[in-house]
Structure 1
Amino acid sequence: MEQLIARVKGMILSPAEEWRTIQREPVELVPLFTRYVMILAAIPAIAGMLLMMAFGLFFSAISSAIVGYILSVAGVFVIAKIIEVLAPNFGGPQDADAALKLAAFAPTVAWVAGAAIIIPILGGIIALAGGIYSLYTLYIGVPTVMRVPQEKALTFTLAVVGVAIVVNIAVRLLTGVFV
């Protein structure tokens, strides 16, 4: 738990330095997901569920939390694959491990800020700010982790975000789930 807290703190307070640390670390899929992604992705799901339950929407709250959580965790895999496939088009290597690191750690701030969702209106603004900051941390991590040249980092980040949005919309349309 100490490592998770230290990583979260690093991603919030000094993302460039944290990305350099992450870049040097080996990645193991199962520990990365069980000790980091699955824990942090649960934060906004649980907060949203509690808020909906406060308004008496028990079944909707539980189903929304479960679907949102599963999509968040699965989204890390999808984003990692998008990053891996797009990187060579922007001067970076097709590196599955590096792509997984970037996809798993970039949403850290969004997940943590998602705890604020439990507060009506203000919480949504805080969560949105966390999401925007996560996009910034993604951009900061691109040259370090994926070794994409700095001059192409913004374009690469925008391409990843654009493709991820299209994939997210497609998945939600196919599953009929807009939560």
Structure 2
Amino acid sequence: MLLQHAFGLFTHPADEWVSIRKEHETPVRLYVAYVLILAAIGPICAYISTAHFGWTVGSERLIKLTEISALQLSVLTYLAMLVGVFALGYAINWMARTYGANEEHVPSNGVALAAYSCTPLFLAGFALLYPVPWFNAAVFLAAACYGAWLMYDGLPIVMGIEKEQAVLYGGALLTVALVILVATRVGSVILWNYGIGPVFVG
């Protein structure tokens, strides 16, 4: 089962990457059995915490979102995560030939590398049940760092390249990931201007 890899990537990542390369799952199966499930953790936890628990900044009053607003934002976040993982996977495959790897007609290895590298970020979504901004920021920063390391560690194994090439390849992919992140932030601002922004409980 693909979800077993989530545990293995924290305990013995090198062996897990070898197993992932051998499986060579199609992007569709990988999405259905892994990404759709784990990517839902953050949005579900965010919905529960923002609509029902609320949060405070300093000594200010408790802040909450309306249930409809929290649901809208959670669904949009979920969709953005799915698109982001898929886009990163295609970027990995698209840049493969540049860094000495084989570009695939169906980008199975690229999407797998993107999806499994995002595992720490998916699991960090549990931290949103405790809606304290500094705590959430610290958890997601640590998860992003470990995810970047997983990608660097997995690139030579999954894409079949030299370790030295993985440094340049990984740097290029992190740049792509940041562009995707900025694009989602810009998309959020555009949607907020169309009225799909946060609505706070009065």
Question: TM-score over 0.5 for the alignment?
Answer: yes
The 5 A counterparts of 1:49-128 are 49-53=47-51, 54-55=53-54, 56-58=64-66, 59-95=68-104, 96-119=107-130, 120=132, 121-128=134-141
DSSP 3-state at the match of 2:179 = helix
Q: Which amino acid aligns with 1:93?
A: N
Q: Distance in 1 between matches of 2:3 and 2:86?
A: 22
Q: Which amino acid aligns with 1:123?
A: N
- Contact kept? 1:92, 1:148, Cα under 8 Å: yes
Higher helix share: 1
Q: Distance in 2 between matches of 1:65 and 1:11?
A: 26
User: TM-score, normalising length from structure 1?
Assistant: 0.89
Q: Corresponding residue for 1:30? A: 28
- Contact kept? 2:89, 2:114, Cα under 8 Å: yes
Q: Which amino acid aligns with 1:146?
A: M
Aligned residues: 177
Q: Corresponding residue for 2:58? A: none
1:131 partnered with 2:144: yes
Q: Which amino acid aligns with 2:28?
A: V
Superposition deviation, residue 28 in structure 1: 2.5
Superposition deviation, residue 27 in structure 1: 0.9
Q: Distance in 1 between matches of 2:138 and 2:118?
A: 16
Superposition deviation, residue 51 in structure 1: 1.9
Q: CA RMSD in A?
A: 1.9
- Contact kept? 1:117, 1:124, Cα under 8 Å: no
| Structure 2 gap ranges (5+) | 55-63, 198-202
| Structure 1 gap ranges (5+) | none
Larger Rg: 2
DSSP 3-state at the match of 1:69 = helix
